[in-house]
């Protein structure tokens, strides 16, 4: 117990140091990046001192979860209220009503288009490194994971694409506001859009009632955004605790053993991120500024492995640092949680399919196989949850559609957390890229804010 108390005290001292940096008005991004670096070093030191399976370390990490897991839960708490009230407010403030169809279409086109590209990148990386499922030994952990995947597949087996589309609709919006279903976020967006459209109708016929409703929405929006700000101030502490726990419990032996698969995955993720930067550059914007301003968002997405948990930071960064209008930022952030995730629903299932295909005597380099796989990946990207396990769900859908054994999706379970960190960061970058491109095309991007090199310090986190 003494070692556990010592570890907790050390964490509290580091937190005190980060708080001191805040008092000294060190920029938000620098504090987040500092927390990330210290978390890596602290986590590695703890594992070196105690061993990954020691009782002292496991108990310490359990206590660290109050800071790390607690922070993620606070973010998840505000996700649905933020999505709902932001979309409704976009209508009451007349920020989307004029061209909502065009905006939605552009967002979906960018999300799905980049997912198709990411699938091609994943295929290229897996083929280039010669990755095959038979290269991986199946231990107890892999077999257990395979059984879990088979069980999950049995729950969704036989569901057609039209049925998947229907699942996106909010049969019970109050249930979806709890986030109960994988597609709850999109369902809430649709419900909020219906309320917004209804508001526009009432405004024409009953302006007094519409004005009253608009004031109520503005009041609720102000409260929700204040909650978001309060939670985001805790980001450096959450990143510190999450990163420390992740590194301290990492299985470095497995990472070394499957190093080729990890490297291939991260090269694919890096290439796709560079493509995001190229898209932004083609839009006539400085990609370097984009990178500098989104580092805190990607750092948190990387450590938390939750696109949904990153939503408040995602939307806030788009509006305050990148000049994306509130309505578009909320649409791209919300859509990006369950549609067109470049990492989890694009690169990952494509790489798995290429790895597994040879076990079924299928040539993964056959043009027909590649084209079919890309199409299947794009279609299957609808409804993938932006939380832990979303990539596995996407892989199940792709592999089953391609008539490949879904159980083999559990082969990389030992390095899954490490790969998932990069995938989540890419998912978030993809949604933010969609927001910037959509704003640019519709000429609603505030380029003055985007080009302001000091915008990152404008928010009082």
DSSP string over 252-303: HHHHHHTHHHHHHHHHHHHHHHHHHHHHHHHTTS-HHHHHHHHHHHHHHHHH
- For the CA atoms of 317, 319, 322, 328, the dihedral, rounded to the nearest 10 degrees, stands at 110
Can you say whether the dihedral through the CA atoms of 329, 331, 334, 336 is positive or negative?
A: negative
pTM higher than 0.75, yes or no?
yes
For the chain, the C-alpha Rg in angstroms (whole number) is 22
pLDDT at 35: 92
For residue 351, CA distances in Å to 72, 281, 307 come to 29, 27, 21
CA pseudo-torsion sign 344, 347, 350, 355: negative
Q: Which CATH superfamily is domain 2-457 in?
A: Sodium:dicarboxylate symporter (1.10.3860.10)
Nearest Cα residue to 75 out of 222, 240, 239? 239
Return the pLDDT at 383.
Answer: 63
Cβ proximity of 272 and 118 under 8 Å: yes
**How much is the pLDDT for 410?**
67
Say what the pLDDT of residue 408 is.
67
Would you state the structure tokens that stand for residue 251, as one six-digit string? 């299985």
Residue indicated by tokens 């580091």: 14
Contacts of 284-290 spanning 24+ positions with Cβ under 8 A? 284/440, 285/436, 285/440, 285/447, 285/450, 286/450, 286/451, 289/450, 289/451, 289/453, 290/322, 290/436
Exposure of 17 by Cβ count < 10 A (0-12 exposed, 13-18 middle, 19+ buried)? middle
pLDDT mean for each 10 residues of the chain (461 residues): 89 94 86 89 91 87 92 86 85 68 88 95 93 68 61 59 75 85 79 90 90 93 88 89 88 74 93 97 94 90 82 89 89 84 91 90 91 92 62 80 77 75 93 95 91 62 53
Closest CA to 90 of 311, 325, 269, 292: 325
Cβ–Cβ < 8 Å for 332, 318: yes
Distance CA 435, CA 313 (A): 14
184 Cβ contact partners less than 8 Å away, ≥ 6 residues apart: 80, 175, 176, 177, 178
Give the model's pLDDT for residue 11: 93
Return the domain boundaries, the chain: 2-457
| CA-to-CA dists, residue 152 to 145, 148, 290, 291, angstroms | 11, 6, 38, 37
**Using CA atoms, how far apart are residues 254 and 413, in angstroms rounded to an integer?**
10
CA nearest to 413, candidates 139, 168, 32, 70: 139
What is the pLDDT, as a whole number, of residue 460?
A: 45
Chain-centroid distance, C-alpha 59: 28
């Amino acid at each position: 117990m003494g070692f556990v108390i010592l570890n907790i005290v050390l964490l509290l001292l580091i937190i005190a140091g980060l708080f001191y940096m805040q008092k000294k008005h060190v920029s938000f991004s620098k504090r987040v990046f500092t927390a990330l670096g210290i978390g890596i070093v602290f986590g590695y030191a703890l594992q070196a001192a105690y061993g990954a399976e020691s009782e002292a370390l496991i108990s310490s990490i359990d206590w660290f979860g109050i800071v790390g897991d607690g922070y993620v839960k606070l973010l998840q708490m505000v996700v649905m209220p933020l999505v709902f009230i932001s979309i409704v407010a976009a209508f009451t403030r007349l920020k989307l009503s004029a061209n909502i169809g065009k905006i939605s279409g552009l967002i979906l086109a960018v999300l799905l288009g980049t997912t198709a590209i990411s699938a091609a990148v994943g295929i290229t990386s897996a083929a280039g490194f010669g990755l095959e499922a038979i290269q991986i030994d199946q231990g107890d952990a892999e077999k257990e994971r395979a059984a879990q995947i088979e069980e999950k597949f049995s729950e969704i087996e036989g569901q057609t694409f039209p049925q998947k589309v229907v699942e996106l609709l909010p049969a019970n919006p109050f249930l979806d506001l709890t986030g109960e279903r994988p597609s709850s976020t999109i369902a809430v967006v649709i419900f909020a859009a219906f309320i917004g459209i209804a508001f526009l109708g009432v405004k024409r016929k009953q302006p007094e009632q519409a004005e009253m409703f608009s004031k109520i929405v503005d009041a609720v929006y102000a409260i929700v955004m204040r909650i978001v700000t309060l939670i985001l101030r805790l980001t450096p502490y959450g990143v510190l605790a999450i990163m420390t726990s992740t590194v301290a419990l990492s299985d470095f032996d497995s990472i070394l053993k499957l190093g080729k698969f990890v490297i291939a995955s991260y090269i694919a993720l890096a290439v796709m991120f560079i493509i995001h930067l190229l898209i932004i550059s083609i839009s006539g914007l400085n990609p370097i500024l984009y990178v500098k301003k989104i580092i805190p968002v990607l750092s948190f997405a990387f450590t938390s492995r939750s696109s949904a948990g990153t939503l408040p930071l995602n939307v806030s960064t788009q509006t305050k640092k990148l000049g994306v209008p509130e309505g578009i930022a909320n649409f791209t952030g919300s859509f990006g949680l369950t549609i067109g995730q470049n990492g989890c629903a694009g690169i990952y299932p494509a790489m798995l399919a290429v790895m597994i295909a040879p076990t079924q005597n299928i040539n993964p380099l056959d043009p027909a196989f590649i084209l079919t796989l890309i199409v299947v990946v794009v279609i299957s990207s609808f409804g993938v949850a932006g939380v832990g396990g979303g990539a596995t769900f996407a892989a199940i859908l792709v592999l089953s559609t391609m008539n490949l054994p879904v159980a083999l999706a559990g082969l990389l379970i030992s390095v899954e957390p490490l790969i998932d960190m990069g995938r989540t960061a890419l998912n978030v970058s993809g949604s933010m890229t969609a927001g910037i491109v959509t704003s640019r095309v519709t000429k609603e991007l505030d380029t003055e804010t985007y080009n302001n090199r000091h915008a990152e310090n404008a928010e009082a986190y």
